[in-house]
Amino acid sequence: MEASRLFLIPIFKDIICSYLSFEEMVNLRDALEFDSLKCPISVIDSNSSKKIILPGINSITIETTKLIRQLGCNFSFLETARQGHNNIVQTLIAAGVDVNLTDQYGTTALILASANGRNLVVQTLLTAKDINVNKINMFGWTALLMAVENNQKLVVQTLLTVKDINLDEVDLDGNTALKLAFLYNHLELAELLKAVGAH
């Protein structure tokens, strides 16, 4: 994709350009189903380390909240949560994105952030009004189960502060978070889970 064909919506100019690579911005453009997005910006091409100027085009202003509600920002929200870009996640939540959006496998931003140790993002997501901390994807994974399997201690500690978290949800093999901790020899996590009454 030629740089001259890539544009960004104004709300993303100062935020997303600071975090996403050129390739990721192309993916974002495609996820939003735009031929091009507006507003001139400069980015650093991760392959060549050269600054690329992306010229803008003359177009009507699109309200960010309207864009998110009409087209969805699944790629932006889920992918930036997975990568740990907390500022972008906060911006999208403030703009009205559904915090319980899922990918094709039923995986939420919270599950992705938890699996990848993105504790700041997890903390941000847990402050959202309608967050479903016990959401299960099609593989039987919750945020807690994923955090335990991947030995994400800080994330587990954060999730255990949630009043309604289901400590004893099981994966498709019948393993609870505590059983997974022992299975993978994550003994510190096992102690944390036992301390809050997990089985």
Nearest alpha-carbon partner for 9 in 38, 41, 33, 40: 38
- Residue ranges per structural domain of the chain: 1-62, 73-199
pLDDT(27) > 50: yes
Query: What is the pLDDT at residue 49?
Result: 54
CA distances from 41 to 9, 14, 83, 157, 193 (A): 10, 9, 22, 39, 47
Burial of 75 (0-12, 13-18, 19+ CB in 10 A): middle
pLDDT(171) > 80: yes
Most confident segment among 10-14, 26-30, 36-40, 106-110? 106-110
For residue range 45-90, what is the model confidence (pLDDT) as tens digits?
445 555 544 444 323 223 333 444 444 444 567 878 888 888 778 8
pLDDT(4) > 70: no
- Residue showing tokens 């949800």: 169
Helix (H) or strand (E) holding 10: helix 10-13
Q: What is the rounded (10 degree) CA torsion for 171, 177, 179, 183?
A: 90
Q: Dihedral of CA 27/30/31/35: which sign?
A: positive
For 74, phi then psi, to 5°, come to -55, -50
pTM above 0.75, yes or no: no
CA–CA separation, 9 and 63 (whole Å): 9
> According to CATH, what is the number of the domain 73-199?
1.25.40.20
Query: What is the pLDDT at residue 50?
Result: 53
Say which residue, 69 or 163, is predicted with more confidence: 163
Question: What is the DSSP secondary structure assignment for residue 42, as one 8-state letter?
Answer: E
For 41, phi then psi, to 5°, come to -145, 170
